[in-house]
Amino acid sequence: MGRVLLPALASAVLAAGPAGAADVPANGPPGASSCTGCHAPSKLADSAIPRIAGRKAADIETFMREYRSGAWPSSVMGRIAKGFDDQQTQAIAAWFAAQPE
Amino acid sequence: MSTRRTFLKLTAAAGLAPAVASAQGAAAGKVVVIGGGYGGAMAARMLKALEAKLDVTLVEPNPVYTSCPFSNSVLANLREIGQQEFRYDGIRRAGVSVAQTSATAIDATARTVTLADGNRLSYDRLVLSPGIDFNWGAVQGYDEAAAQKMPHAWKAGAQTVLLRQQLQAMADGGLVVMSVSANPYRCPPGPYERASLIAYWLKIWKPKSKLLLLDAKDAFSKQRLFQNAWAQLYPGLIEWVPLSKGGKVTSVDPATLTLVTEFGSHKAAVANVIPPQRAGAIAAQAGVADRTGWCPVEPVAFESTLRPGIHVLGDAAIMGAIPKSAFAANAQAKVCAAAIVDLLAGRKPQDPILINTCYSLVAADYGISVAGVYRPDKGQLAEVPGAGGTSPLDVVGGFRGQEAVYAESWFRTVTAETFG
């Protein structure tokens, strides 16, 4: 009975994002869980560092790309963004976009 | 997005859960976490958040955690020690059992932890995040009694308060002497942040005083940034003596507050000794510390390479290129928790990427940082080439002020994520 569920689940999972479906652990693709040390996952704390949960994935990707190139000046994010390629950035952006704001 | 969790719940409900999972069972899994700091408290909380059915116990003898990050600001009267203190109520509310006692013995074969209160806990996976202990006697004459005269203040709390009291009681014109250990030790830039903030405070309140920084090494974290700032903000106040110029302190006399180096001796009005360190004692008892006193781990789930089933986090672990910082311990904890959930369900954990960002204050409104991105490579966590590095040497406008603001924002966020 359960077996008929699998193809439907698999396609739903595959459609979920570029991160690669069942490879996404519950706390995000590689690198994502480090981000919340500064970018609070919910409105936890009074902070000058912007929250990224619930932001549009395309916006997060743009920020990361411009931090990486230096087009958008930053204190620390340029140094961090250089550690992630487009695919990794895309997966992280998709994951944060899907988190509750 | 909980795609995978949803997938797993659905497959489990449909009776499709992998055989390993039903044999060992994420639902029946028991995880014991020893040590309630930035690594352990975060790991316990994240384990419960990722898999509510896990039985998670945090073993921590202190009812209150006193944070080392920002404790240098307490020395400079910029914060009170109470602002460094965090309780475990939030972690209890998250469903973690908190055993307020210490672990006295670990049996890695039987997978049990014996507690000081006489109880014994069994585990499927054990997380050790015991922080550091000091190598008493490595600097001759520096033992626990000496630390009451010449505080280390390298575990925050009573020692921080003692050092602050000594600084405040010192006469203007007194010599403050700091002794810094060789690598590795907790918080690589911490001693230099401390020297900076003590200088910041001396300049205001004891302007005739000086600070002598005796160092057992010839180079240190964010060195040029610190030294440029010292020249600019505190000219002539801080004298750094590297190893090659006789900076290594070999013995101390707490009765006379004298620090002896290979080149001479210095009598202090206030002495702060940051001694050589090793992993917290329980690590050696468990058999996960090697001859260096620290704990080697693999780079994906941070499982000990010496004892299977035991994961080591934070300052106690040898983590390749990733430094011993609170940010790193917090990042490791979240990766480790996800990996343990995977392992208990019979899945292979995914190769992680970790970030470290470490701020230091040079003055109340002057911050500098070092960052890095790390991934597994040849059995270690290696720095991703081309990423990371320190704040730029030459900056304009409010850059340093902005980094000071970000430092405090990080502190509020990470403590809320861990303890809030």
Report the complex ipTM. 0.90
Mean pLDDT by 10-residue block, N- to C-terminus, for chain B (420 residues)? Answer: 38 35 54 98 97 97 98 98 98 98 97 97 98 97 98 98 98 98 98 98 98 98 97 98 98 98 96 98 98 98 98 97 98 97 94 98 98 97 97 92 97 94
Q: Where are the domains of chain A?
A: 25-98
Of the partner residues A25, A30, A40, the one whose CB lies closest to the CB of residue B416:
A40
Chain A residues within an 8 Å CB radius of B15: 2
Chain A residues within an 8 Å CB radius of B412: 45-47
Joined tokens for residue B394:
């030459």
Smallest Cα distance from A63 to chain B, Å:
16
Chain A residues within an 8 Å CB radius of B328: none
Q: Are B406 and A49 an interchain contact pair (Cβ–Cβ within 8 Å)?
A: yes
Q: Are B349 and A44 an interchain contact pair (Cβ–Cβ within 8 Å)?
A: no
Question: In this model, does residue A68 exceed pLDDT 70?
Answer: yes
Q: Are B331 and A33 an interchain contact pair (Cβ–Cβ within 8 Å)?
A: yes
Q: Where are the domains of chain B?
A: 2-133+277-419, 136-274
Q: Which of residues 358-377 of B touch A (CB under 8 A)?
A: 369, 371-373, 375
Q: Are A45 and B420 an interchain contact pair (Cβ–Cβ within 8 Å)?
A: yes
Q: Are B410 and A17 an interchain contact pair (Cβ–Cβ within 8 Å)?
A: no
In angstroms, the first-to-last Cα distance of chain B is 22
Smallest Cα distance from B106 to chain A, Å:
29
Same topology between domain B2-133+277-419 and domain B136-274: yes
Question: In this model, does residue A22 exceed pLDDT 80?
Answer: no
CATH of the domain spanning B136-274: 3.50.50.60
B183-201: b (≥16 Cβ within 10 Å) or e:
ebbbbbbbbbbbbbbbbbb
At the fourth CATH level, the homologous superfamily of domain A25-98 is: Cytochrome c-like domain (1.10.760.10)
Residue with tokens 């997938």: B7
Residue A89: band (very low, low, confident or very high) from pLDDT cuts 50, 70, 90: very high
The secondary structure of residue A37, as a DSSP letter, is T
Give the model confidence (pLDDT) of B149-206 as tens digits.
999 999 999 999 999 999 999 999 999 999 999 999 999 999 999 999 999 999 999 9
Q: What's the CATH class of domain B2-133+277-419? A: alpha beta
pTM of the model: 0.91
